[in-house]
Amino acid sequence: MSIEWGKITAEELLDPIQGKLASGPRNISFAGLSTDSRKAGPGEVFWALKGEKYDGHDFLRDVIQEGVSGVVIRETFLPHLSAMLESDLKHRTPAVITVGDTLKALGDLSAWWRRQYDVSIVAITGSIGKTTTKEMCAHILERQVPVLKSQGNFNNLIGVPLTLLRLGSGTSTAVLELGMNRPGEIARLTQITDPDVGVITNVAKVHLEGLGTIEQVAKAKGELIQEISPGARIVLNGDDGLLMDTARRFRQDLFTFGLGPRNDVFAEAVHEETTEGISFTLRHRDESWPVHLKVPGRYNVQNALAAAAVGFVSGSAPEHILTGLEEFRSIKGRFAVERLSGGITIIDDTYNSNPTALQAALDTGKSMVSKGGRFVVALGDMLELGESVHREHRAAGRLVADLGTAFFVVMGTYAQDMVQGAKEAGFPEKDMVVVDTHDQMVHVLRQVTREGDIILFKASRLIRLEKAVEAFKLLMEQGREVDAL
């Protein structure tokens, strides 16, 4: 059996996914796997998944005409496909494999694929910081071995399997991000990935719409500890009391990181943030090393400690850990700091938002303002907060006011809640504006900002606030209005 794309056949896929070959050649090989009909190419196997907006089964005619070598479909859809193959697709002969649930089958295939390789898996979850921690971990581990890591937002029940299916003979370590928004997802992803090291960065008020309370968030994150293999290492934020209480229920050995000296890996002498980064002393056992991160924010110290902890439990040399951390740079959309012409600095933290992350971003952004400068805040909605959505947005407005912000511009469904919270905390009405579009936000910011100002942009992913960031940058660089859309 050849477990690599280009050699693996339809017949060899059947057992791992409990599938049946409904028609087509058994010995046909697949050049790769695609779940996107727009990208499925000749020789690949197309996996028909049903999502919230689209159903891959609706595009089977298209991918077969494009020349895919096989399709994996829901068993109940077979009569429809058979009719197509007998009529307008009668000259096409792809391998047609049926399964009960194509999403489960994708996970089963990737779990089987993972077991075919002698590879060490690091799986990282948490409410905040998991992407940055993943990137920092990869920076450390790739100093010794080739590393495969999750790309973009490939952290769910589709993205994680697709990442695992990129494993090949040249990979010895994979660093994966595990995301979730409802109970059971982390458990399933842990079963699929079978990690050698499992990391939980923290627990915060995220995905409350699907989970209800922060206690339920902690329980959902704890599924990683519940499902991980007995011999695996577990790395946790020892400063997070709710997370530690959850972890202790499982009687597993824990390796902790944090700012407190009771942790296995901790930080001392954390210096004040600047736009250039933040410095601290890294301590493990009886040794210590100076670290200078080229990204600002105390929360990035926590991310660096998590990554360092993974390095230590994985056997990385201290010099590789230090080099990996110090060479790390900001990720676009995640508190990426950029100085623009005109003396204005922007902080692009538009990838996502939640109450805990927002407070950290506000505190860090305000601390970076130099003498004579001002702090300007541009916010959009925080999503998936369930019944607490109005309360949390009013609290966000109060936070902005309490920091002594110079100007506040907001957009989104809950903009008025943020404005109301700011008013309650005494923020002047003349210094805040509600806008309806990204273009309006850019126009307002251009009118009110001046040299020395720092602007923080932050919102949940669906608000697409990065449009305002890019349009504002172009306006400042080119001196002309640019359509953010």
In tens, the pLDDT along 301-334 reads 999 999 999 999 999 999 999 999 999 998 889 9
Residues 101 and 184 in one domain: no
Average pLDDT for 428-444: 97
What pLDDT was estimated at residue 273?
67
Sign of the C-alpha dihedral computed for residues 395, 396, 402 and 407 taken in this order? negative
Confidence of residue 483 (pLDDT cuts 50, 70, 90): low
What average pLDDT does this structure show over 395-420? Answer: 97
Q: Would you state the pLDDT for residue 2?
A: 53
pLDDT tens for 453-481 read 999 999 999 999 999 999 999 999 876 55
Q: What is the pLDDT of residues 256-309, one digit of tens each?
A: 999 999 999 999 999 976 778 999 999 999 999 999 999 988 899 999 999 999
Q: What is the pLDDT of residue 437?
A: 97
Domain assignment present for residue 29? The answer is: yes
Instruction: Based on the fold, state whether residues 179 and 312 are members of the same structural domain.
Output: yes
What's the CATH number where 43 sits? 3.40.1390.10
Structural domain span for residue 287: 117-326
Q: Is 48 in contact with 60 (CB distance < 8 Å)?
A: yes
**Do 30 and 139 share a domain, yes or no?**
no
What is the distance between the alpha carbons of residues 405 and 409, in angstroms, rounded to a whole number? 11
Query: What does the pLDDT average to over 386-398?
Result: 96
Give the whole-number percent of the chain exceeding pLDDT 70: 98
Residue with tokens 């933040």: 278
Residue 484, pLDDT > 60, answer: no
Residue 220 in any domain: the answer is yes
pLDDT tens column, 336-359: 999 998 899 999 999 999 999 999
Q: In this structure, are 267 and 241 located in the same domain?
A: yes
Q: What was the pLDDT predicted at 479?
A: 65
pLDDT digits (tens, 9 = 90+) for 197-211: 999 999 998 888 889
Q: Does 401 lie in the same domain as 351?
A: yes
Domain co-membership, 341 together with 297:
no
Q: Domain ends where: 72, 105, 138?
A: 105
Q: Mean pLDDT score of the chain, rounded to an integer?
A: 94
- The number of domains in the chain is 3
pTM for this model (two decimals): 0.90
pLDDT band at 133 (very low <50, low <70, confident <90, very high): very high
Which runs of consecutive H residues, i.e. helices, occur in 154-212?
159-164, 185-193, 208-211
Same domain, 98 and 125: no
Q: 163 with 252, same domain?
A: yes
Predicted pLDDT of residue 1: 42
Q: Is residue 5 part of a domain?
A: no
Residues 340 and 270 in one domain: no
Say what the pLDDT of residue 386 is: 92
Question: Is 181 a member of any domain?
Answer: yes
416 and 283 within one domain: no
pLDDT band with cut points at 50, 70 and 90 for residue 43: very high
CB atoms under 10 Å from CB of 199, counted, come to 30
Which is it for strands 120-125 and 95-99: parallel, antiparallel or unpaired? Answer: unpaired
Q: C-alpha distances in angstroms, 174 versus 123, 139, 217, 390, 453?
A: 8, 12, 26, 40, 41
Of the residues 307, 326, 345, the one at which a domain ends: 326
Domain termination residue (choose one: 326, 356, 376): 326
Report which DSSP code applies to 314: T
Q: What is the mean pLDDT of residues 240-251?
A: 93
Backbone torsions φ then ψ of 393, nearest 5 degrees: -75, -35
pLDDT at position 101 over 90: yes
Q: What are the C-alpha distances in Å from 34 to residues 104, 131, 239, 257, 271?
A: 15, 24, 41, 38, 47
331 is a domain residue: no
φ/ψ (deg, to 5) at 149: -135, 155
Looking at residue 350, its pLDDT comes to 96
Calpha distance 236→126 (Å, rounded): 10
pLDDT of residue 480: 53
Q: The CATH number of the domain where 257 resides is what?
A: 3.40.1190.10
Check pLDDT > 80 for residue 41.
Answer: yes
Do 25 and 174 fall within a single domain?
A: no
Decide if 80 is inside a domain: yes
Domain assignment of residue 484, yes or no: no
Confirm whether 244 is domain-assigned.
yes
User: Mean pLDDT throughout 6-34?
Assistant: 96
Do residue 165 and residue 242 come from a single domain? yes
